[in-house]
Amino acid sequence: MQYMILILRNYIVIQLFVVSDAMYTCVFLMLYIGRDGWMPFQEQTRRIIEKYTGYPDIPTGRPCGVLAWMYGHGKHTISLRRSDGTSVLVDTPFFDARTSAVPRPYYAVIETDAAKIWVPTLAKGAQDLIATRGDERLVFELGQPRDLARHLHGLGRACDAPGTDAAPGTDADEVNAMHCRLIGALLADGYTVRVEKLFEAAVRETREEHGFDFDRSRAHVLAFAPCVEQSLSKRRLATPIEHYLYVTQVTTFDTTIPARSTIVEEKNPCCYGNVYQEFGTYLTLSDMWQKFRAAEERAAMDRQLADISRTELVVTRSRLALLGRVEARILHAGGRQPAPLSFHGQPAREIAVPVRNQ
């Protein structure tokens, strides 16, 4: 049977050289698709998915974000106007050139109660998959088996998926296969497909989670350096993973309205279905450690809360330690220009990410 199929395929290929009719091409592709569904685009699919930082070992992706900061002597309240014309009061850092007091780095970070306890953390996320066809633009979040299965069904491709995302840790090969099937299905349907660029994802995730928009704040950027640091994550507590940060010093945050969001947890199986809050703020590293210790003390007094928040506290401690390493380099540079930071083992100057249009 296999030999018959091979002979048939070769015959059709020969006919394609003789008759260049589009119908024959379509028949060839249909026969060659096979059981995997994306075989005609296997090489193209591989080139696309290899741009994803989570491939192949961390299908949920490695976190990336813009770590924006400025030197400040404290915070004051200002009024900013939203796009709809309404005003909002924002507590933002300020720098006082008249004082001799030593300023401190203030960071654009977020506070969240995802595990029923408020903790500070970095604005971050992973790359999305983007498909375009004419004026149509589709965006897919990678790494979530349930969502991937739903998207495949929407494209008319049958798919069996686990009942809960990454519960407890869907096999990476299985999720990677779903990624490839989704990309192949989109290519077969005539879409142009790409994985979001790392810096593009970092800017988007930071804008969505905190409110700081690198693109709209380019005029305020003083210094910029991409770096990679290790930290634990909620779904990988055993081994730290790379966090890709774009460390960005700015002169002011007075044009940024921090975001406020209500979120239903759909990724972390430990807190699946939990509704929580997340809002952008500006804190020093000392402020963050104080909030973290207050959260630890609160959890220590409530056994049920301690069980729920244990993972959150472990990860938060690891991320604050990460931020401490970054701040040590900031202070070493004296705020004029970040100390040389590495990114994928390359000097930062070799990473071609423009700060502003010249």
Kindly list the domain boundaries of the chain, sorted by start residue.
1-33, 64-123+199-350
The answer, as to whether pTM is greater than 0.85, is: no
The pLDDT, as a whole number, for residue 268 is: 65
The pLDDT, as a whole number, for residue 41 is: 87
Which residues contact residue 76 at a Cβ distance below 8 angstroms, ignoring those fewer than 6 apart?
91, 92, 94
* Rounded Cα–Cα distance for residues 326 and 333 (Å): 11
The pLDDT, as a whole number, for residue 334 is: 64
Rounded to the nearest integer, the mean pLDDT of the chain is 83
The pLDDT, as a whole number, for residue 159 is: 72
* pLDDT tens per residue, range 78-120: 999 998 999 999 999 999 999 999 999 999 999 999 988 999 9
Determine the average pLDDT of the residues in 302-308. Answer: 90
Residue 30 pLDDT > 70, yes or no? Answer: no
Determine the average pLDDT of the residues in 315-342. Answer: 78
